[in-house]
Amino acid sequence: MSRKFVPKITTFYSPAFLRDYPTVDCEGPERVSVVHSHIGELATFIEPEPCSIADLRLCHSEAILASVQRSKDTFEVARLSAGAAIQAAELCFERPVFSLARPPGHHAGRNFNGGFCFFNNIALAIQKLLAEGRVASALIVDIDLHYGNGTFDIFQDEKRVAFRNISAPSRTEFLSELDRVLDDAAKFDIVGCSAGFDTYIRDWGSLLFTGDFKTIGSKVTSSNPHVFFVFEGGYYIADLGKNVYSFLQGIQEACS
């Protein structure tokens, strides 16, 4: 019996994401390098293009742009990370897509940033599709340990976008909350997932096991025909690669 062909997950990645731009120690280049080294057999890597300044203005004030531009390295990599998310969203109408990029973005709001984030990658991706009329509605699901305050800030008055942040005190409740959050996901034109892995049992969240990320990847992918994923947190380097590998396995499983 022949094995069923399962396509690899299109993954936006650039060696530029390994640049050691000014940030905190825990958000170092190894977060991306260890994932990249683990997921090769599941991923087809594509080099992203940086987003434009006009793209950044869709979600951020001139003051935020100016503050990030003070560091040339940071500005260049942050634009590339945002560009990767935008391109992932654009491509997800054909198949699920993962953006393996840094810096992360969900703590960057319209007039503020922080939490290792400079520009809000997932918000920029969704906002661009809305501005171009390519979607009329969007759901953003944030599975990171920390609340996506920047994403909420950008979309709090936008009726076309639903932002749902998973927060639960136990593993069982986390997975149940995810089911509830995804219950009506099919009604949206697109689903974007802020994919954080710091809920892991050995990471700051002390909540989920490696296999749970496979379950989450499968559930989100199955919820809507047009889904993309943007890398956010995850700081236990020893197991981060295998956790993202498990996540991509779940995406593949839902596609098969």
Give catalytic residues, as residue numbers: 107
Work out the end-to-end distance of the chain between its first and last CA atoms, rounded to an integer number of angstroms: 17
Residue 146's alpha-carbon distances to 6, 64, 72, 105, 149, in angstroms, are 33, 21, 28, 12, 8
Which residue bears the tokens 């219950």?
183
Which amino acid, 182? L
* Cα gap 43→212, rounded to integer Å: 20
The conformation of residue 167, written as its DSSP 8-state character, comes to -
Would you say 189 and 222 are in contact if contact means Cβ atoms under 8 Å apart? no
Q: Is 225 exposed, middle or buried (0-12, 13-18, 19+ CB in 10 A)?
A: middle
